[in-house]
């Protein structure tokens, strides 16, 4: 993913408002509706939760009622910060912060990536409230906009059959009709209308009025494959559309080569192993991740993108099943079970670091950490720790990690202790 226009989260300093890339260049209406959609996705997507799980529907009704008050204010920067609006906005943000606490409780019962997304969204909602309460209205808007990355990241990890019941009420609003097709596509993703999102992206991909280089630069091709493969596990549809795309006369040489690589990768996916109704396989997911690494020669990790997306789909689904298996038994996990869990987290972390990791929240780091914690004395732990430490040190500017926050160092030391203590 191309995140050059956006600084790492560790460097964010509100009220800086950047030129947002891809999914972040949306109307303020979408940023608010994303928060609603993510609450539903993280709280209500699983079909096998513990008995004490947080019920999503009452929480969603509360959040939705708050949004209907915030929408008119959010469309106008003056109204957003006007003295007569502040009490109303703060009251709504406080109630949204309460919803964030519910997300935290539920996220801790899910696979580590969902846990991280729930915690990240919760932190962002608290940042919004804090900035607004302190009079930093642009900072509040900044974190509200940034928080949508948690939501998009969550939705592209969930089975496509999960739905968002309040979608019609959101999509029927008049403001939606004024949005650009690209903005609409991401709104469709947030409310889990994946068919509509894919159709909208396809319209853009084949619109002769828009150059294909611009389409690629905006990340539309990657977004399209992300939903088609990770969410829908649909190989036939992107193959058909990419073949049409390959016929465009304005196709740059680099993209002509890349499209052919993606088509070859799609042709190599075994439909008996990869499809919307096929059970996930750890072995197949690891195999796909290795294949992607073998062909990822170009920049941005996009040469092996198809295999990376297919691998991520397999591994996330397998880890969710693994989590439910662990909850269903009262014994300790066997050495093989611990090793398998660690392998799944490690492979997923590698895939994400290479081509899928987000700039707002790093799921790669969370999954590499989970690989260590799942089997700290096992054969995967050392490799996972090395990748995690490298990613965090370089992410904070190198210099032997001198710029890393204390809590990051503390976490790394804890992981080393888990690996070395008898």
- Segment 301-351, tens digit of pLDDT: 688 999 999 999 999 889 988 888 888 888 889 999 999 999 999 999 999
Reference 4, options 292, 218, 306; nearest CA is 218
CB 43 within 8 A of CB 59: yes
Residue found by looking up tokens 């909602």 in the block: 125
Average pLDDT over residues 23-40: 39
Token pair in block for residue 314: 């397999």
31: confidence class by pLDDT, cuts 50, 70, 90: very low
User: Could you read off the pLDDT of 43-80 as tens digits, one per residue?
Assistant: 333 333 333 444 444 555 565 566 555 655 666 678 77
Q: Of residues 138 and 250, which shows the higher confidence score?
A: 250
pLDDT recorded at residue 238: 97
Per-residue confidence (pLDDT) for residue 58, from 0 to 100: 58
Q: Which of 32-41, 100-109, 115-124, 219-228 bottoms out in mean pLDDT, i.e. has the lowest?
A: 32-41
Using pLDDT thresholds of 50, 70 and 90, give the confidence band for residue 30.
Answer: very low
For the segment 152-162, what is each residue's pLDDT rounded down to a tens digit?
455 445 555 55
Token code pair at residue 248: 């465009």
Separation between Cα atoms, residue 228 and residue 242, nearest integer Å: 12
Q: Rounded CA gap, 419 and 381, in Å? A: 7
Distance of CA 407 to the CA centre of its chain: 24
Q: What pLDDT is stored for residue 189 in this prediction?
A: 79
Q: What is the pLDDT of residues 219-256, one digit of tens each?
A: 899 889 988 998 889 999 999 999 999 999 999 999 99
DSSP for 251-312 reads --HHHHHHHHHHHHHHHHS-TTTSSTTSPP-HHHHHHHHHHHHHH--SGGG-TTHHHHHHHH
pLDDT band at 281 (very low <50, low <70, confident <90, very high): very high
More confident residue, 20 or 402: 402
Percent of the chain's residues with pLDDT above 90: 34
* CA-to-CA separations, 154 to 21, 44, 100, 184, in angstroms, rounded: 18, 12, 15, 18
13 assigned to some structural domain: yes
Closest CA to 304 of 292, 286, 291, 290: 292
Burial degree of 263 (CB within 10 A; 0-12, 13-18, 19+): middle
How would you class 294 by CB atoms within 10 Å of its CB: exposed for 0-12, middle for 13-18, buried for 19 or more? Answer: exposed
In a domain, 36, yes or no: yes
Q: Report the number of distinct structural domains present in the chain.
A: 1
Of the two residues 308 and 94, the one the predictor is more confident about is 308
d(CA 332, CA 329): 8
Cα-Cα-Cα-Cα torsion 13, 19, 25, 27, nearest 10 degrees, comes to 70
CB proximity list for 273: less than 8 A, separation 6 or greater? 281, 284
User: Does 119 map to a domain?
Assistant: yes
pLDDT above 50: residue 419? yes
Confidence of residue 17 (pLDDT cuts 50, 70, 90): very low
Half-sphere exposure at residue 104, Cβ-oriented, CA atoms within 13 angstroms: 13
Q: Show the DSSP H helices in 75-111 as ranges.
A: 77-81, 83-107
Averaged pLDDT of the chain: 75
Confidence of residue 280 (pLDDT cuts 50, 70, 90): very high
**32 pLDDT band (50/70/90 cuts)?**
very low
Amino acid 204: pLDDT: 95
Of residues 369 and 107, more confidence is placed in 369
Domain that holds residue 152: 1-158
Cα 396 to Cα 391: distance, rounded to the nearest angstrom? 9
What single-letter DSSP state applies at residue 334?
A: P
pLDDT on residue 142: 64
**Model confidence pLDDT, tens digit, residues 372-395:** 999 999 999 999 999 999 988 887
Average pLDDT over residues 171-186: 69
Of the chain, the percentage scoring pLDDT greater than 70 comes to 62
Inter-residue contact 349 to 373 (CB < 8 Å)? no
- Reference 35, options 148, 146, 158; nearest CA is 148
Asked, for residue 60, whether it belongs to a domain, the answer is yes
Q: Is residue 270 situated within a structural domain?
A: no
């Amino acid at each position: 993913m191309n995140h050059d226009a956006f600084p790492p989260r560790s460097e964010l300093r509100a009220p800086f408002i950047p030129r947002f890339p891809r999914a972040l260049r949306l109307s303020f209406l979408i940023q608010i509706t994303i928060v609603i959609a993510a609450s539903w996705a993280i709280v209500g997507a699983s079909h096998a939760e513990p008995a004490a799980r947080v019920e999503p529907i009452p929480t969603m009704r509360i959040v939705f009622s708050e949004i209907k008050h915030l929408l008119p204010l959010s469309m106008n920067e003056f109204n957003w910060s006007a003295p007569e609006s502040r009490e109303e906005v703060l009251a709504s943000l406080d109630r949204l912060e309460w919803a964030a606490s519910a997300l935290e409780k539920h996220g801790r019962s899910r696979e580590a990536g969902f846990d991280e997304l729930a915690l990240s969204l919760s932190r962002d909602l608290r940042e919004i409230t804090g900035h607004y309460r302190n009079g930093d209205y642009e900072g509040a808007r900044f974190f509200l906009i940034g928080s949508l990355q948690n939501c998009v990241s969550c939705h592209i990890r969930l089975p496509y059959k999960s739905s968002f019941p309040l979608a019609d009420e959101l999509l029927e609003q008049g403001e939606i009709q004024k949005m650009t097709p690209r903005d609409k596509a991401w709104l469709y993703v947030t409310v889990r209308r994946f068919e509509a999102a894919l159709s909208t992206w396809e319209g853009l991909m084949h619109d002769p009025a828009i150059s294909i280089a611009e389409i690629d630069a905006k990340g539309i091709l990657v977004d399209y494959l992300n939903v088609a493969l990770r969410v829908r596990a649909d190989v036939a549809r992107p193959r058909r559309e990419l073949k049409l795309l390959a016929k465009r006369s304005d196709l740059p040489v680099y993209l002509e080569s890349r499209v052919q690589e993606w088509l070859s990768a799609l042709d190599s996916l075994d439909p008996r192993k990869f499809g919307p109704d096929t059970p996930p396989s750890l072995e197949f997911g690891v195999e796909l991740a290795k294949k992607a690494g073998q062909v990822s020669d170009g920049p941005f990790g996009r040469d092996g993108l198809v295999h990376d997306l297919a691998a991520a789909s397999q591994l996330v689904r397998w880890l969710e099943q693994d989590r439910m298996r662990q909850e269903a038994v009262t014994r300790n996990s066997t050495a093989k079970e611990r090793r398998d869990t660690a392998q799944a987290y490690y492979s997923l972390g590698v895939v994400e670091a290479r081509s899928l990791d987000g700039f707002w929240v790093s799921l790669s780091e969370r999954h590499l950490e989970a690989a260590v914690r799942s089997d700290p004395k096992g054969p995967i732990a050392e490799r996972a720790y090395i990748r995690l430490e490298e990613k965090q040190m370089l992410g904070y500017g190198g210099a032997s990690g001198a710029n890393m926050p204390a809590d990051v160092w503390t976490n790394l030391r804890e992981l080393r202790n888990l690996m070395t203590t008898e």
